[in-house]
Amino acid sequence: MADEPLVLGIETSCDETGVGVVRGTTLLADAVASSVDEHARFGGVVPEVASRAHLEAMVPTIDRALKEAGVSAKDLDGIAVTAGPGLAGALLVGVSAAKAYAYALGKPLYGVNHLASHICVDQLEHGALPEPTMALLVSGGHSSLLLSTDITSDVRPMGATIDDAAGEAFDKVARVLNLGFPGGPVIDRYAKEGDPRAIAFPRGLTGPRDAAYDFSFSGLKTAVARWIEAKRAAGEEVPVRDVAASFQEAVVDVLTRKAVRACRDEGVDHLMIGGGVAANSRLRALAQERCEAAGIRLRVPRPKLCTDNGAMVAALGAEMVARNRAASDWDLSADSSLPVTDPHVPGNGHTHAHSHDAHDHVHEISKENLYS
């Protein structure tokens, strides 16, 4: 274990400042500072608020992660950071911090892909990823089916949402039901006491001529909103628990049906589910049921590793080091639309600083990248 790569990972793609420390496939620390409460009154994430929160939380969260891991920054073999996709301003804070630490410490810098990191985090719980692995990633910003034959270099998109992501639909339906933000956990909680067959909400893109692996939740969200509006207009009470259960069932039915179909079509016997919505209890249960029926092994990390976190970034960074992938250059930039086909952003073979005056440049680097 001692000779496995020790990597610190920084995640700032949205509203969570995540810092993780990983040695090989062993999680040593997972520190998170969330700004979700600051966004709740707006009913969604405000990019400027998220960026400022990252800036304030960054150094304390890194210090906390290193302390929790019981390691010194100088012992690290590399620093990984989410380079994209995500909110541009939020990503910039993380990338700038990673550059500053990597330069000052003379360590390799790895700009990695947020979605590939969500897949790689499963290694921290269930061991090395089978190759190939089918991954269903569902969150507030993404609903994607991905086929990975090598998590560091070969991730192929099979399907994605053409409108609202699954998590986004959860947030919007929760808002219509006056259940607050974020919507995922509260919808899951109310759904447990409701009837998933009470209301026949539509299943988007499931017709014979529709794209086999793409998703659409905008029509479902609108159908739920109109159903609720009709009830209220008629002066009737809205059965919140039944609405939550029926809506949730429509989402997870489509997600699991398409994921299992993709596994069958591609001859893949492993399905990994990640992203914030992977914490949903009904999604986990239905996926397990359908995978067992199809002879597919299901891998889902524990809920804390499904949401955005630094551990997933560190996990992918450690894999980059272990497989001798090229480190990123110092001109690494945040890319809000970084494609999943780029699991990381390799450089052209730069050398890393080991000079005594490297620390003198940390503030300069951070200031230049954060405010330019």
CA 35/CA 159 separation, integer angstroms: 30
CA 67/CA 49 separation, integer angstroms: 27
Q: What is the DSSP string of 205-226?
A: T-STTS-SS-B--HHHHHHHHH
The answer to whether the annotation marks 138 as part of a ligand binding site is yes
- If asked whether residues 102 and 136 sit together in one domain, one would say no
CA 47/CA 98 separation, integer angstroms: 20
- If asked whether residues 181 and 295 sit together in one domain, one would say yes
Number of structural domains the chain divides into: 2
Determine, yes or no, domain membership for 48: yes
- If asked whether residues 181 and 284 sit together in one domain, one would say yes
175-187 average pLDDT score: 94
pLDDT tens digits, one per residue of 136-159: 999 888 899 999 999 999 999 999
pLDDT confidence of 38, banded at 50, 70, 90? confident
The answer to whether the annotation marks 126 as part of a ligand binding site is no
To the nearest whole number, what is the mean pLDDT of the chain? 92
CA 347/CA 23 separation, integer angstroms: 23
- If asked whether residues 284 and 238 sit together in one domain, one would say yes
Higher pLDDT, 357 or 276: 276
- If asked whether residues 271 and 315 sit together in one domain, one would say no
The answer to whether the annotation marks 114 as part of a ligand binding site is yes
pLDDT at residue 91 is higher than 80: yes
The answer to whether the annotation marks 141 as part of a ligand binding site is yes
Residue 261: its pLDDT value, please? 97
Is the bond leading into 85 cis (omega within 30 degrees of zero)? Answer: yes
Using the 3D structure, point to which of 258, 274, 301 is the last residue of a domain. 301
Residue 365: its pLDDT value, please? 40
pLDDT tens digits, one per residue of 184-237: 999 999 999 999 999 999 999 999 999 999 999 999 999 999 999 999 999 999
Residue 2: its pLDDT value, please? 66
Using the 3D structure, point to which of 282, 301, 320 is the last residue of a domain. 301
Using the 3D structure, point to which of 284, 301, 318 is the last residue of a domain. 301
- If asked whether residues 106 and 11 sit together in one domain, one would say yes
The answer to whether the annotation marks 139 as part of a ligand binding site is yes
Determine, yes or no, domain membership for 238: yes
- If asked whether residues 104 and 138 sit together in one domain, one would say no
pLDDT at residue 369 is higher than 50: no
Burial classification of residue 34, based on how many CB atoms lie within 10 Å of its CB (0-12 exposed, 13-18 middle, 19 or more buried): middle
Determine, yes or no, domain membership for 1: no
- If asked whether residues 71 and 116 sit together in one domain, one would say yes
- 3-state secondary structure (DSSP) of residue 198: coil
- If asked whether residues 143 and 237 sit together in one domain, one would say yes
The answer to whether the annotation marks 336 as part of a ligand binding site is no
Determine, yes or no, domain membership for 239: yes
Sheet with 16-23, side-by-side order of all strands: 26-34, 16-23, 6-11, 78-84, 109-113, 344-345
6-11 and 78-84 strand pairing? parallel
Determine, yes or no, domain membership for 141: yes
Residue 41: its pLDDT value, please? 73
Residue 49: its pLDDT value, please? 87
- If asked whether residues 289 and 326 sit together in one domain, one would say no
Residue 136: its pLDDT value, please? 98
330-354 average pLDDT score: 83
Domain that includes residue 355, residue range: 6-121+309-371
* Residue the block writes with tokens 């159903």: 227
Determine, yes or no, domain membership for 73: yes
Residue 355: its pLDDT value, please? 35
- State the CB neighbour count (10 A cutoff) for residue 223: 17
- If asked whether residues 116 and 137 sit together in one domain, one would say no
Residue 370: its pLDDT value, please? 39
The answer to whether the annotation marks 3 as part of a ligand binding site is no
The answer to whether the annotation marks 267 as part of a ligand binding site is no
pLDDT at residue 368 is higher than 60: no
The answer to whether the annotation marks 106 as part of a ligand binding site is no
pLDDT tens digits, one per residue of 342-351: 999 998 854 4
pLDDT confidence of 15, banded at 50, 70, 90? confident
Residue 358: its pLDDT value, please? 39
The answer to whether the annotation marks 140 as part of a ligand binding site is yes
The answer to whether the annotation marks 142 as part of a ligand binding site is no
pLDDT tens digits, one per residue of 205-220: 999 999 999 999 999 9
Determine, yes or no, domain membership for 344: yes
* Cβ density class 241-256: b for 16+ within 10 Å, e for less: bbbbbbbbbbbbbbbb
* CATH number for the domain harbouring residue 274: 3.30.420.40
- If asked whether residues 249 and 275 sit together in one domain, one would say yes
The answer to whether the annotation marks 20 as part of a ligand binding site is no
CA 28/CA 30 separation, integer angstroms: 7
pLDDT tens digits, one per residue of 279-300: 999 999 999 999 999 999 999 9
